[in-house]
A and B are shown apart, each in its own frame.
Chain A
């Protein structure tokens, strides 16, 4: 064996070892076993939830984030001693059939992660200030969104999704529902593959835009609530009843493309059917617009 050939073998081996070590260091895995729910708290970096089809939960660290100066030096108030720590800045706790994931420190709060979700798992996300009492004044003055704006996406998740965040751009793709989403500042975009007939979905944003994509043949009963935003639909909305302050003020059919709610019209809620009606979909905003979009089947 020539020296050059030996060098090549050693070099390739080193690369393989480095890649293996690096990939292990960037990933955390946990067997799904009898678990059926994933809960994630207080991650303010970009966060992706993806359906994996494998019987394990995998969490990948995609990028280390930057800590806003307002967060530097703040301490957690929640108890973490009993938790299992991973090597990618998260800690994991299993209780009953639920696995809970939280950041281990201020740095990991702002990291970007991708979480692979096993089939049929329900997913719950929540951002709270309970662990950061020092941030409350900032929240009350209305400035917190500048520090924790992030992107969050859910793709192909088959179980129920519940999501509560303060400031994020939220996307759901290839979803059947049900979804309960609550965003204070930011847009919600939801692409439904089909619609759950048994359990309602409820999407709410305070000041963002709500774009909901539905298959053309979907049967669903929709309820819009908006204080001053516009509502537009690419679907004909039949059996529509208009409400103002909880009282019915009219009914009829709304043809596609027709603007439904304007600030000048005294209607703040519409209940209507798409095609034959069916599973319930609630869409709420204060000042943002709501768009029901027909997606290509």
Chain B
């Protein structure tokens, strides 16, 4: 790993959310790199100071109001009459309101009101998730390269929230660009054992038409070595929807020639 990569994952390393493999890589690098070692010490110092700051919570009811607002927006955005453009606007408004809420919370913090730390940190986490969700939902406005960049940055999360996973699923199932769909599939790979993700991806195998995406899905399903994933592959092989070259690879994967 180089300094840039280490820099990107240093905070995850500090809060212990990296995999063992990556943590070991960071440790190895820190031992030999003075600059990154110094950065780590500075981050650890900041982290320590942040944990000692006495923080405050939002006024009673604000959190509930926020949750209610998001629930309302979700139900609004799920109505089919809303166009993608207005959907994006809704999310922008939601983001603005969220930013305002968080701003107010921190504003009150400065005024030393008596508030609860955990609620603020909960709101902070929600804000981060919503920000990433907004980035994924508003992807249609962006170019393919920008979309791939957003997906890469979302997949940097050591553990992804459900909302983000579903937003990625949506990108995988509906984006026009195959390279974007493949990037989303790669990002979803660690969550394939989630039953909802698995069901959605198995369903996708029957719907996706691009041969590369089909192979990516078949490889993922074959790696599961489960009865239902094998059934799904057998089904697409039998219904003749796969192009000949894809069918050959699918059979090889099922027969474990490549696995």
For B249, give its contact among A221, A227, A284 (CB under 8 Å): A227
**Contacts of B21 on A, CB cut-off 8 Å?**
248
Give the complex CA separation of A201 and B148 in angstroms.
9
Contact A238:B258 (CB < 8 A) given known A160-B143, A182-B179, A202-B145: no
Interface stretch, picked from A7-15, A85-93, A104-112, A272-280, is: A272-280
A75 to chain B, nearest CB (A): 22
Does any Cβ of B come within 8 Å of A178's Cβ?
Answer: yes
**Contacts of A286 on B, CB cut-off 8 Å?**
211-212, 215, 245, 249
B4 near A278 with CB under 8 A, answer yes
**Contacts of A268 on B, CB cut-off 8 Å?**
219
Does any Cβ of B come within 8 Å of A141's Cβ?
Answer: yes
Interface string of A280-292 (1 = CB under 8 A from B): 1010101000000
Give the complex CA separation of A184 and B258 in angstroms.
22
Give the complex CA separation of A142 and B211 in angstroms.
10
Interface string of A178-211 (1 = CB under 8 A from B): 1111101000000000000011111010110000
Does any Cβ of B come within 8 Å of A148's Cβ?
Answer: no
**Contacts of B220 on A, CB cut-off 8 Å?**
245-246
B241 near A180 with CB under 8 A, answer no
Q: Can you report 8 A-B residue pairs in the complex whose CB atoms are below 8 A from each other?
A: A160-B145, A162-B144, A199-B143, A227-B258, A245-B223, A246-B190, A246-B220, A273-B2
Contact A282:B211 (CB < 8 A) given known A142-B244, A178-B145, A200-B152: no
B243 near A200 with CB under 8 A, answer no
Does any Cβ of B come within 8 Å of A233's Cβ?
Answer: no
Contact A282:B244 (CB < 8 A) given known A204-B178, A273-B2, A277-B5: no
B83 to chain A, nearest CB (A): 15
Contact A202:B244 (CB < 8 A) given known A245-B219, A273-B2, A286-B212: no
Interface string of A147-182 (1 = CB under 8 A from B): 000000000000010101000000000000111111
A42 to chain B, nearest CB (A): 15
A204 near B5 with CB under 8 A, answer no
A180 near B212 with CB under 8 A, answer no
Contact A227:B2 (CB < 8 A) given known A122-B143, A162-B144, A184-B211: no
B245 near A142 with CB under 8 A, answer yes
Interface stretch, picked from B31-39, B162-170, B181-189, is: B181-189
Give the complex CA separation of A204 and B160 in angstroms.
27
Kindly identify, within residues 118 to 168 of chain B, every residue whose CB is under 8 Å from any CB belonging to chain A. Answer: 143-146, 148-149, 152
Does any Cβ of A come within 8 Å of B25's Cβ?
Answer: yes
Give the complex CA separation of A117 and B223 in angstroms.
45
Does any Cβ of B come within 8 Å of A251's Cβ?
Answer: yes
Q: Which 5 A-B pairs give the minimum distances between C-beta atoms? A: A180-B144, A178-B145, A246-B189, A202-B179, A199-B145
Does any Cβ of A come within 8 Å of B110's Cβ?
Answer: no
Does any Cβ of B come within 8 Å of A239's Cβ?
Answer: yes
The residue on B at minimum CB distance from A205 is: B212
Given contacts A199-B145, A280-B148, 5 further A-B contacts (CB under 8 A): A142-B244, A162-B145, A184-B210, A228-B258, A239-B2
Kindly identify, within residues 9 to 26 of chain B, every residue whose CB is under 8 Å from any CB belonging to chain A. Answer: 21, 25
**Contacts of B244 on A, CB cut-off 8 Å?**
141-142
For A164, give its contact among B178, B182, B219, B249 (CB under 8 Å): B178
Contact A276:B212 (CB < 8 A) given known A199-B149, A248-B21: no
B203 to chain A, nearest CB (A): 20
Does any Cβ of B come within 8 Å of A79's Cβ?
Answer: no
B4 near A277 with CB under 8 A, answer yes
For A282, give its contact among B1, B179, B189, B210 (CB under 8 Å): B179
Does any Cβ of B come within 8 Å of A140's Cβ?
Answer: yes
Does any Cβ of A come within 8 Å of B177's Cβ?
Answer: yes
B42 to chain A, nearest CB (A): 22
**Contacts of A276 on B, CB cut-off 8 Å?**
2, 4
**Contacts of A200 on B, CB cut-off 8 Å?**
145, 148-149, 152
For B179, give its contact among A180, A207, A239 (CB under 8 Å): A180
B178 to chain A, nearest CB (A): 5
Give the complex CA separation of A87 and B27 in angstroms.
66
B190 to chain A, nearest CB (A): 7
Contact A246:B4 (CB < 8 A) given known A140-B243, A164-B177, A227-B219: no
B255 to chain A, nearest CB (A): 15
The residue on A at minimum CB distance from B247 is: A142
B179 near A204 with CB under 8 A, answer yes
Interface string of B214-250 (1 = CB under 8 A from A): 0100011001000000000000000001011100010
**Contacts of B219 on A, CB cut-off 8 Å?**
227, 245, 268
Give the complex CA separation of A221 and B8 in angstroms.
14
* Central interface residue in A180, A221, A273, by most chain B CB within 10 Å: A180
Give the complex CA separation of A284 and B212 in angstroms.
9
A270 to chain B, nearest CB (A): 13
